[in-house]
Structure 1
Amino acid sequence: MNDFDALLDEAAAVPLDGWDFAWFDGRATEQRPSWGYADLVAERLTHAVRALDVQTGGGEVFSYAIKKARATGLLVATEAWMPQVARAKVPHVIAADGLPFRDGVFDLVVSRHPVNTQWAETARILSPGGIFLSQQIGAGSNRELSEAMLGPLPPPGRQRPEQIAAAAEAAGLQVVQLKSERLRLEFYDIAAVAHFLRKVVWTVPGFTIGKYRDRLRDVHEEITVKGMFVSYAARVLVEARK
């Protein structure tokens, strides 16, 4: 078995549960946004009585923020994927894709990398003066990696900062903070690329190692020559008040 095959077998065997990226240590690096989302959530929690984390995943970020802020009160999270619900590290997790809460119940709603943001529903469950804080996946995020698998793509049609702000305002929220950054990712072997694509499913929808094996081999050869494959993530921080 050659290195390419062995690396793909290794990637296929890595569990997909949770959002702990420790497996990538030494195999890939990702530049982080300068604003420090988890610490921002912790700071907002110090002023909140009733807080909700939407699409919490494994709850790692929300749990960190709760502990740092020593937050008390009503602390709730939602998550639609049942394996994540079972392992989420937060006080109360509701298995839900929507927002099944009464009007005006939360004074803080947060969401990191939501698959989609239900703007009208978010505004509905916020109390007057309540805050929505979210780090969103920006337009064209990891386009280089997507095109390595899919070929040339049309320009992204959504998730530009101004579009995110417009959606918030259309729901009746006032945008008080809007930032965007482009962040460098470096992959040092093809196992890291394949596992990332298995885990971050929106990069190449429907990705499987078998289906994209030929494309993965091309990326493997590029890494062999250049020492890495480089892609760029787009992140948008939005904070809005009701």
Structure 2
Amino acid sequence: MTRFEKTLYKANKDPLNLLDASFGLSTYVPLDLSIQNEEIRKVAISDPSQCQMYIDTILKKKKGKVAYGGYLEKRNLYKDHTGFDNREGKSRNIHLGIDLWAKEGTEVITPIDGKLHSFKNNAIKGDYGPTMILEHNLENTVFYSLYGHLSVKSLKDLYVGKVFKKGDVLASLGDPSINVHYAPHLHFQIIGDIGTYYGDYPGVCSLEEVAYYVKNCPNPNYLLKVDPINTD
């Protein structure tokens, strides 16, 4: 592990539930939305209603309430949205966070202490919709966590520097009309150097950009521990 990854891993001993605490981690079901998943090749996965139907099928089959996954998945989810090319015209289709798919209105729980770095409604189709970014400092390591696809009311009464403690209700999930054309879910991403971004940060990259983003946006599971992770 890198120093950054070790810092994330040591932040807590137990798995973290990012959504409604009443769900429990036993209700989390892994979800594969990658291009390698043959099950979704006949599903119009970029259509929110079709995507939701597929997710509901997985949750029903496995008796879950939250479908999760997606770090470094290569996806077709973005092919119907504009703006998913980088400056060189390369397709951005590799996902840099973990998605947690659940019903609209589901509460989002603050995973670790932090303060509000920025917030913004990125209201372009295919973007994040309402978004919050928290700043954290662990062992003198400053980093950020991004929460995308929230409800509009999540941005009410916010101000830069507002403190959120671990376990606080941070926000709630938006519906497709608010989260700009996705089935309801939380996009959760860890960011090292946020640069000049405010209320936004790339959540998808091209194959040519992966090496940089893997270092700057490590696997959120080092912090969440919803899956076993290699610590070598």
**Larger Cα-atom Rg:** 1
Shorter-chain TM band: under 0.3
Tell me the TM-score normalised to structure 2 length. Answer: 0.26
Q: Is the helix fraction higher in 1 or 2?
A: 1
Tell me the TM-score normalised to structure 1 length. Answer: 0.25
